[in-house]
Amino acid sequence: MDDVIIIGGSFAGLAAALQLGRARRKVTVLDTGLPRNRFGHHSHGVLGHDHKPPQDILAAARQQLARYPAIKLVNARADSISGVIDDFSVLTGAGETLKARRIILSYGVADQIPHVPGFAESWGTSIVPCPYCDGFEVADQHWGVVWFGPQSHQSVRLFRDWTDKLTVFADGHDIAPDIQADLAHRNIPVVDGRIVEIAHHKGHISTVNLDTHRHIAVDILFAQPRNKPSASLHESLGLATVETPVGIALKVDERRQTSMPGIYAAGDLATPFLPSVTQSSWQGAMAGIFAQHSMLA
């Protein structure tokens, strides 16, 4: 039996494994190799790894974990979890049953890319979700912002730190009159209509095409598609969740334990606000440490 099975071996899961492996706890990490930022060419804002391809950061982490004999990295999907604290079973996609005293869920979230031609092809290249991740490289250029609710007002105010050339795409949303007035006061145009196509060349956007037959040129488009957890294991377990503006996140306490004793969560799956590689790594490390603390004799 393992001490801990970690489901999802990306930034959060590997950070948890690192702490547990250094504490000489027996760990298996199950991973299907699809980190959320795999569409991005470089990862930014990660101390010591700024502007590196995300897969390179993960490959280096996996290589470093090879030092620790108690850590086993397995390329497999977790299909179900059963049992209770000190006696959990995880069934893998290969039909193997693994047992552990604790579980850490770090299987991330999947962005629900809209069915708009050109959107998926441009995602991560010229359509991006986060200014901290991709804003610096396109500072002072013309940014489009896809409105997704009242939170977008704060985003637009934030984006002014990177550029004065902003265009808001209402994309079918009714923007409240007081917000419209504020945007007008800031000289930020609002374009009505739904986005029906992203015209691009190899993922580099040329125009945002609307159902009003307007074609608006921008250099980069910031969008926050809804997301959902990459697996449904938490649903089968009935774990508590919290609402976020773009989906749900698992509810955890200050020790990163979910609503079920012995099951911990880290990374985007349990981050209601500003998900990032740094947050995921920090949360993963803490989940690993607190899982270890909970097993002391």
Ligand X SMILES: Cc1cc2nc3c(=O)[nH]c(=O)nc-3n(C[C@H](O)[C@H](O)[C@H](O)COP(=O)(O)OP(=O)(O)OC[C@H]3O[C@@H](n4cnc5c(N)ncnc54)[C@H](O)[C@@H]3O)c2cc1C
**Residues lying near ligand X in the complex (CB under 6 A):** 7-13, 30-37, 39-40, 43-46, 77-78, 106-108, 111, 124, 128-129, 133, 230-231, 267-269, 275-278, 280
CB atoms within 10 A of CB 183: 18
Rounded least distance, CB 88 to ligand X, Å: 14
Q: Which residues of 121-152 are buried (b: 16+ CB within 10 A; e: fewer)?
A: bbbbbbbbbbbebbbeebeeeebbbbbbeeeb
The nearest distance, CB 44 to ligand X, in angstroms, is 4
Return d(Cα 65, Cα 59) in angstroms, integer. 10
Task: Decide whether 7 or 252 has the Cβ nearer to ligand X.
Answer: 7
Q: Considering beta carbons, is residue 124 or 175 the nearer one to ligand X?
A: 124
Q: Which residue number has the CB closest to ligand X?
A: 267
Residue 19 or 280 having the CB closest to ligand X: 280
* Shortest spacing between CB 12 and ligand X, in angstroms: 4
Using DSSP bridges, classify how beta strands 190-191 and 166-169 pair: parallel, antiparallel or unpaired: parallel
- Tell the smallest beta-carbon distance from residue 241 to ligand X (Å): 15
CA atoms within 13 A on the CB side of 167: 17
Please name the residues in contact with 253: beta carbons below 8 A apart, sequence gap of 6 or more: none
Whether the CB-CB separation of 181 and 159 falls below 8 Å is answered with: no
Our CB check for ligand X shows the closer of 98 and 183 to be 98
Closer residue to ligand X, CB minimum distance, 3 or 111: 111
